[in-house]
Amino acid sequence: MSFQAQLKGRDLLTLADYSKAEIAYLLELAEQIKQKRKNGEVYQPLKGKTLGMIFEKSSTRTRVSFEAGIYQLGGTGLFLSANDIQIGRGEPISDTAKVLSGYLDGIMIRTFSQKDVEDLAENASIPVINGLTDDYHPCQVLADLQTIKEEKGKLDGLKLAYIGDGNNMAHSLMIGCAKMGLDVAIAAPKDYQPKKEIIELAKSFADGSEVIVTENAAEAVKDADVIYSDVWASMGQEAEQIEREKAFAEYQVNSTLFAHAKSDAIFMHCLPAHRGEEVTADIIDGPQSVVFQEAENRLHAQKALMVALMS
């Protein structure tokens, strides 16, 4: 069976559900789609298809990349805020899933609870894509892996160091890196480390690579090929900003920390970034930063995902 046949009609709730070969296929397809766009080729395998995009959390990159992506593939995207549909007024997710399945060809949802995404997928008869939850951000990590492969020419045998909050990005990076053969080291304060069950899940996927969680940022960054950071206070955590600034004061990615990595290490960030907090301006705006290439690849990786699941 081809990978196209394997993936057609599937959901993407977390990268844990996809094999190394399936992820590699999506990355290869993303590279092909990116090249087609750069060559000015019209590529519209989703002509006549419609993607519903449910946003309970606002976004720049997720909305624009999915909406532009489905349009470029020949389809239509419908933006649905919580106020636009009855799910925001108490309609059961199961009812919403069944109704939308009769209208659409796919659903992307960006929300808080992972269970809500799972319930939506369980009750929908069309593909459901997790655009972000408090636990996972698989679409971002597909773009991240694509970017690393572009820059380094491979994934197997590299080391990625993530410095900051043990949040949805840390969770998805651990899983994605472990699946694709990268060592991954997470450095976070004791009270902000990734969930233990997700650490163990990521370790179960590691075949010769390592998944390390530490409080020591310099130890995590040592000999890293990629250094990754994220905001200290994510959406919904604004009230904790001052408390988090104190907790993460020793976890800023700056030139001193960067010096522990390999000399050709690249810097990545899922954006938006707060210069002067989790990363200094000289790093994120410097020559080793690939954050805008990474952001662009959200478009290409998600186009590949939509083609694979919806065509």
- The backbone region for 181, taken as left when phi is positive above 0, alpha when psi lies in -120 to 50, beta otherwise, is left
Tokens of 41: 């080729």
Q: How far apart are CA 265 and CA 148, in angstroms?
A: 10
- Whether residue 37 lies in the annotated active site: no
Residue 137 labelled as part of a binding site: yes
Q: Which residues pair with 161 in a beta bridge?
A: 185, 227
- Which residue in the list 11, 72, 137, 244 is annotated as catalytic? 137
* Run of H or E residues at 205: helix 196-205
Peptide bond into 194 cis (omega under 30): no
- Which residue in the list 10, 244, 298, 300 is annotated as catalytic? 298
Helix (H, G, I), strand (E, B) or coil at 285: coil
- Which residue in the list 10, 72, 105, 110 is annotated as catalytic? 110
Q: Is residue 167 a contact partner of residue 231, using CB atoms and an 8 Å limit?
A: no
- Which residue in the list 11, 135, 140, 300 is annotated as catalytic? 140
Q: How far apart are CA 177 and CA 291, in angstroms?
A: 18
- Whether residue 275 lies in the annotated active site: no
Residue 225 labelled as part of a binding site: no
- Whether residue 134 lies in the annotated active site: no
Residue 270 labelled as part of a binding site: yes
Residue 287 labelled as part of a binding site: no
- Which residue in the list 230, 244, 300, 302 is annotated as catalytic? 230
Residue 234 labelled as part of a binding site: yes
Residue 311 labelled as part of a binding site: no
Q: Is residue 63 a contact partner of residue 55, using CB atoms and an 8 Å limit?
A: yes
Residue 167 labelled as part of a binding site: no
- Whether residue 270 lies in the annotated active site: yes
- Which residue in the list 135, 144, 146, 270 is annotated as catalytic? 270
Residue 168 labelled as part of a binding site: yes
**Angle formed at CA 102 by CA 96 and CA 106, multiple of 5 degrees:** 80
Residue 81 labelled as part of a binding site: no
Residue 60 labelled as part of a binding site: yes
Residue 139 labelled as part of a binding site: yes
Q: Give the residue ranges of the annotated binding site for carbamoyl phosphate.
A: 59-62, 86, 110, 137-140, 270-271, 298
Q: Give the residue ranges of the annotated binding site.
A: 59-62, 86, 110, 137-140, 168, 230, 234-235, 270-271, 298
Kindly list the catalytic residues.
110, 137, 140, 230, 270, 298
Q: Give the residue ranges of the annotated binding site for L-ornithine.
A: 168, 230, 234-235
